[in-house]
Structure 1
Amino acid sequence: MLTNWAGNTAFRARAVHRPASLDELRGLVAESDRVRALGSGHSFNDVADTTGDLVVLDRMPATVEIDSAARKVRVAAGTTYARLAEAVHAAGFALENMASLPHISVAGSVATGTHGSGDANRCLAAAVSGLELVTADGSLLSLSRGDDDFAGAVVSLGALGVVHTLTLDLVPAFELRQYVREGLTPDALDGFDDIMANGYSVSLFTDWRDTRIWLKRHEEFTAGSWHGTRPAPEPRHPLPGMPADACTTQLGVPGPWHERLPHFRPDAPPSGAGDELQSEFLLPRAHAVAALRELYAVGDRVRPALQISEVRTIAADDLWLSPFRDRDSVGVHFTWIRDVATVLPAIDLVERTLAPFDPRPHWGKLFTRRPGCPAGFRELAGRLDPAGKFANDFVRLLPEE
């Protein structure tokens, strides 16, 4: 039985296929009546599930084609960000941002709106300038930024076809330094905007009682006391008490962008190595402080189900199904214990607490209140996949906005 990374979802597919060529993939899609693609399996719900054929792309040609003049890279859908980052950096370039884990696949991350952090940094999907996908009849469709259907096809939940390659924007390679600050109190939330602006990428890790700040900066940071915090004397893991061996280098040591932006190293087990469940809710940036205060107020009730929360900021984009569509956002992430009976009431409490602030869930995490689906996306899916070959219960049950 094939399960997701956390082991909380067992896929119901009648068969799992690993095509080794584009022709094989196209034939498989054309012949199947129900088919979905599976990325690295890091989603915590059934967004990738199907009762038909499940396609895993880890045996496809490992395409990484860099166009230095255009500052673009064309990459195979199943490529991990760790492998992509190494190739891009070797050519003198960088991705604008990365997620906490470099282990995840490019296509799966893009399709679900996965993101990193930074006031000026958009989600990973916003770097996509083109994509090729195998549609329901097995034909290959290419879309580029500016095409009518492009903004609906990037964050697509796998509902339009099987993505074959993506083309991403690049920037010149750069270095960062990573610092951890300890002792942030709820009273310091009035300084939230200043805290989040003090790095290229900034995260808060909290159990809604004790809070640490992860700063990823171009410049050195030598402040003693800052917003009531102090520098961590040694490397830290986001989960208090865990050894920091799996984490990227801290203590202000400069290093390449791809060795600082993720919290975890690609050659080490990611995060809690799967012994967890996750939720995340994306709110308008203007509501950040008020929403965080409400979560601190219910922290004692959330904490029994919680391992750690992470707070990040993400810039707006224009992608139809992006959780950041048309609004700068703050993301509040919950890494739960792996106990569904304990976690579901905590998710319900969080959703009720955040309801006044117009939350949108991360598509690949656990949530109980389904967000709306734009009518334009329904029309696009109906046009590209009239028989619903790529649809599943997750997509069908999304209400229309």
Structure 2
Amino acid sequence: MSKRFFRKNLTKKSENKIYVERKKTTLALNESSISTISLLSDFEKEKILNARIEKYPTSDFITPFLTSLKEYCKVNSEQQILIANGIDELLYFLFIAINEKNAKCIVNVPTYPDYKNYGESVGLSFIEIPLIENFDSNVEYNIDIKRLVKKGKRKDVKAIIFTNPNNPTGTLFPLADIIYVMQKLKDKLIIIDEAYIEFCLDKTMIPLLNEFENLVILRTFSKGFLSPGLRLGYLVSNEHITSQLKKVFPVFPVSQISIEIGKLLLQNKDEISKVRQQIIDNRQDIYEKLREYREKGYISKVYKSNTNFLLFSFKAEERMKECYDFLLKNEVSVRNVSSKYLKNSLRVTATNDKETAIFLNTINEFFNGHNNE
């Protein structure tokens, strides 16, 4: 009976949720296994304890953090940056701002599924354009530029979303391809989700903000700054776009504690960068081992990655499930990311040396006991 209180297309929608079985070694959510707070000095930890939670986070508190972000991103003004509780919340506000009757967004699939989940929550609909597989090149997935531009010219399309690097494939799309789309679709908002950009920071599109007025970039402290539990994200664009988006953003967008920790993480960016390099090194170790399994025929594909995770696929769904269940049984949790556009695929997070060794030993045990059965 409660359905009568809500719009019809919402009552038909499924709940936004995620289920991951946490084990002793959880490598399913692209989290860090390293305590970020432990990287801070005692003096810095004291600052967190003294965060002014008895006060609203007014501009007096927010502006110093925005200044730190401005300097980190190398943009001209604090007014180009908006903060929120993670990229997920930024997406909600963006979708609210662009939504109107019959409005649509374009996504390249496979990609982060919650674009569609969150967009549909506010009444948007989506056009999905499959990426083109190309394992003979350095980029294993390419954007279908011709089809994307054609669809993007539709009057009901308001925005095109690129995840770069892409989740769950780990692909870094060629900059020239995205630039071409922006040039051809100047009246459409181009949203670049750079959640994983710290793992390939020289590929950010922030320097292009001065050239393209339709460009919006989303960033987070969850991946490259190892802090998904902080729920802190930010949007970077030109002041014309941010001034319009402020109309749908809350007055107090994040907590005092988030602001304080965010400032401290930026101050410790060099130390955090060293940890990221360890993750990249472990990612490479996992990739090399998975490539050996591919050459032996145990798996069908392993994808190059520019993130903190790796994607690998099996020829048969049953085989993939056997591997997934074996890992779970041995207290290792990875993510089953199989979908209409990505068959029989698992995703594993690269973390520290210990967890990398546990994963490699466990999956090696699986293949040694189950090879070519």
TM-score range, shorter chain: under 0.3
Q: Which is helix-richer, 1 or 2?
A: 2
Pick 1 or 2: higher relative contact order, CA cutoff 8 A, min separation 6.
Answer: 2
TM-score (norm 2): 0.27
Q: Which is strand-richer, 1 or 2?
A: 1
